[in-house]
């Protein structure tokens, strides 16, 4: 198991009271204490990778917005500090580095402690705490640098990954699957949103749900689609804000639910012929829940029981 991380993620500061805060990384690191994995530094992303998912104008705007002190506000809830650009570039670089490593056979599993998150960043717009669409960029790297033709992206964040969907809308080689609370920010993710090649599956879930409702969605739709698709790589947008204690969602999941869904995804990867799995951190804003869920998720990726 590989874990990609950079101390630069702690250099991305947001205003006091903002839910996407430095303490999130510390919580994940506490959760992963003692995990017997190979830790690697997340490198700076190659701009060529970013430009597969985002316009040159978007990249230029983000780079020019980075302040020398204080904060720059890109939209109502998306901020940059002096260290934010490096943090975001290393989040993307970590995801791309993880894809390279697992496809080179260095390990079958990798987790990227990516901060800021990425799945709300659209092709031409930073939003929802996100600057670059990290997992979409990693998926496109797998296709363009490694010649893959069937990449699956599974997003179980409580919020719909509108940015991932936007960046991959025209990409026939990537199957994007999202379970998310609806209605909820950002207001996208209806089942009728299918992509240019009908390669997108959105499964909206109602607030106040349960473990049974989540498992029914995965056993009834997500897992069968993945088995039929036979992906060559599975990427996970691992948001832990569907947890019952999270302040930004209301799906009512619990820590064992994340272990359950992770084991299910990894089982499909194993059944498909030792297909590699790369997971990238997205949301999760209750620090105690985030710590426990990150540990349960990584333990399940490693095949370590029901932690």
What does the pLDDT read at residue 35? Answer: 86
The answer to whether residues 228 and 147 touch, using CB atoms and an 8 Å cutoff, is no
What does the pLDDT read at residue 272? Answer: 86
What does the pLDDT read at residue 307? Answer: 39
Contacts of 50 (CB under 8 A, 6+ apart): 59, 92, 132, 137
The answer to whether residues 296 and 257 touch, using CB atoms and an 8 Å cutoff, is no
What does the pLDDT read at residue 304? Answer: 79
Q: What is the pTM of this model?
A: 0.97
Instruction: Give catalytic residue positions.
Output: 120
Rounded CA separation 141/100 (Å) = 9
Rounded CA separation 232/83 (Å) = 35
Rounded CA separation 208/122 (Å) = 28
List 200's β-bridge partners, or say none: 176
Residue 172, preceding peptide bond in cis (omega within 30° of 0): no
- Note the pLDDT tens digit of each residue in 67-110: 999 999 999 999 999 999 999 999 999 999 999 999 999 999 99
- Note the pLDDT tens digit of each residue in 114-136: 999 999 999 999 999 999 999 99
Task: Find the mean pLDDT for residues 14-33.
Answer: 98
Task: Find how far residue 263's CA is from the centre of its chain.
Answer: 17
Find the Cα–Cα–Cα–Cα dihedral 97, 100, 103, 105, rounded to 10°. Answer: -80
pLDDT band at 306 (very low <50, low <70, confident <90, very high): very low
pLDDT, the chain, mean? 97
CATH topology of domain 2-301: 3.40.800
CB atoms within 10 A of CB 127: 18
In the chain, domain spans: 2-301
**pLDDT above 90 (res 210):** no
């Amino acid at each position: 198991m590989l874990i990609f991380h950079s101390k630069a993620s702690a250099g991305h500061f947001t205003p006091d009271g903002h839910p996407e805060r430095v303490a999130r990384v510390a919580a994940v690191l506490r959760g992963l204490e003692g995990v017997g994995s190979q830790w690697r530094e997340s490198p700076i992303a190659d701009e060529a990778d970013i430009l597969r998912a985002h316009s040159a104008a978007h990249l230029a705007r983000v780079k020019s917005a980075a302040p020398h002190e204080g904060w720059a506000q890109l939209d109502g809830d998306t901020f940059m500090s002096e260290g934010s650009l490096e943090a975001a570039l290393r989040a993307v670089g970590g995801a791309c580095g993880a894809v390279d490593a697992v496809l080179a056979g260095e390990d079958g599993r990798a987790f990227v402690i990516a901060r800021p998150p990425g799945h709300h960043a659209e092709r031409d717009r930073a939003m929802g705490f996100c600057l670059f669409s990290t997992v979409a960029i990693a998926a496109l790297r797998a296709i363009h640098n490694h010649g893959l033709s069937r990449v699956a992206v599974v997003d179980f964040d409580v919020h719909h990954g509108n940015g991932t969907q936007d960046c991959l809308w025209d990409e026939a080689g990537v199957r994007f699957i999202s379970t998310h609370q609806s209605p909820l920010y950002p207001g996208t993710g209806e089942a009728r949103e299918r992509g240019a090649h009908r390669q997108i599956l959105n499964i909206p879930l109602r607030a106040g749900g349960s473990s049974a409702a989540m498992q029914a969605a995965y056993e009834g739709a997500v897992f069968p689609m993945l088995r039929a698709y036979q992906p060559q790589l599975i990427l996970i947008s691992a948001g832990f804000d569907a947890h019952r204690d999270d302040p930004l969602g209301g799906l009512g999941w619990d820590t064992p639910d994340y272990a359950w869904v992770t084991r299910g995804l990894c089982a499909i990867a194993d059944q498909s012929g030792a297909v590699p799995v790369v997971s990238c951190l997205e949301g999760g804003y209750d620090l105690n829940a985030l710590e426990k869920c990150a540990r349960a998720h990584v333990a399940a990726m490693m095949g370590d029981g029901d932690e």
